[in-house]
Amino acid sequence: MQVQLHINGKATQLDLPPNTLLVQALREKLQLTGTHVGCDTSQCGACTVLMNGRAVKSCTLLLVQAEGAQVTTIEGLAKPDGTMHPMQAAFKECHGLQCGYCTPGMVLSAVDLVTHYPKATEAEIRELLDGNLCRCTGYQNIVKAVQHGAVAMAA
Ligand code: FES
Ligand code: FES
């Protein structure tokens, strides 16, 4: 089945079986392995990407559901010259990661969160990120990173 979409700003055409998940197309066909798989059951958020600017769990979407969409993976978030997105830089500065497995999904969810709720309180950040699980950090530095990232994104 042919599907056309934009991935990290690049027009992409894929010809894959109709039951292909978006995460499979990204990781196995396009080698965009920054999109992780943690649970395969729509719980952990490690597979989060942006689709038309909103965070979605790519293990839960069929590739065909992304027909015509703009998809951004963690590989597409930095500028072409390698300058990190403000939210990536905030995670680095605030030590918002340890093993890093949850981080691509966490960063992309945070970008969606701050884009749509730029003045979110700490409690709202915790609630809005509840679809992304982290087994390492205890979340405190992740929340701090999102708050710093929000300031940087507004600047
Ligand atoms: S792998 Fe998609 S939510 Fe866990
Ligand atoms: S940093 Fe290890 S799972 Fe979040």
Atom of ligand 2 nearest to the CA of 106: 4
Q: Where in the chain is the domain with CATH 1.10.150.120?
A: 86-154
**For residue 116, which amino acid is it?**
H
Q: Name the CATH code of domain 86-154 (choices 1.10.150.120, 2.60.40.420, 3.40.50.720, 1.10.1060.10).
A: 1.10.150.120
pTM, 2 dp: 0.97
Q: Is the CB of 16 under 6 A from ligand 1?
A: no
Looking at domain 2-73, its CATH superfamily turns out to be: Beta-grasp domain (3.10.20.30)
126: its two tokens: 């915790």
Residue 133 Cα distances to 74, 79, 81, 82, 136, angstroms:
17, 27, 30, 27, 9
- For residue 122 the two structure tokens come to 């700490």
- Contact status, residue 117 vs residue 128, Cβ threshold 8 Å: yes
CB neighbours of residue 49 within 10 Å: 29
Neighbours of 6 (CB within 10 A): 16
What distance in Å separates the CA atoms of residue 145 and residue 143, rounded to the nearest whole number?
A: 5
**10-residue mean pLDDT series, the chain (155 residues):** 97 98 98 96 97 98 98 97 97 98 98 97 97 96 98 96
CA–CA distance from 84 to each of 45, 147, 149, 154 (Å)? 21, 17, 11, 15
For ligand 1, pick from 40, 51, 61, 135 the residue to mutate: most ligand atoms within 8 Å of CB: 40
Q: What is the pLDDT of residue 40?
A: 83
- From-to residues of CATH 3.10.20.30 in the chain: 2-73
Q: Does residue 89 sit in helix, strand or coil?
A: helix
